[in-house]
Amino acid sequence: MGAFRLIDARGKVIERVDEDEMTGMVQIGGEQWRAASSEIIEVGVRVVVTEIDGTRLVVAPSPQEKIAESIES
């Protein structure tokens, strides 16, 4: 089962997720994981795990984060 248990888990970006630079880290619970995304996600943004790609979690901003962003704009 391993990392697949983390699909749909929520966490927070602790190192900017940037696919072009191949960088990014998220924290889920007390664990830190390498992360990937189809978009750049800044530190502090809450994310949800959508899939597992090798040893990296593929993440997207959580729906609540998107709602807060649209309200602030």
Annotate the chain with DSSP letters as a single string: -GGGGGTT-EEEEEEEEETTTTEEEEEETTEEEEEE-SS-B-TT-EEEEEEEETTEEEEEE-HHHHHHHHHH-
Q: Which pLDDT score, from 0 to 100, does residue 18 have? A: 95
**pLDDT confidence of 26, banded at 50, 70, 90?**
very high
Looking at the 3D structure of the chain, how many domains does it have? 1
Average pLDDT over residues 3-22: 91
Range of the domain at 14: 2-72
pTM equals: 0.82
- Model confidence over 29-73: pLDDT tens digits? 999 999 999 999 999 999 999 999 998 999 999 987 655 555 455
- Domain containing 22 — which CATH number? 2.40.50.140
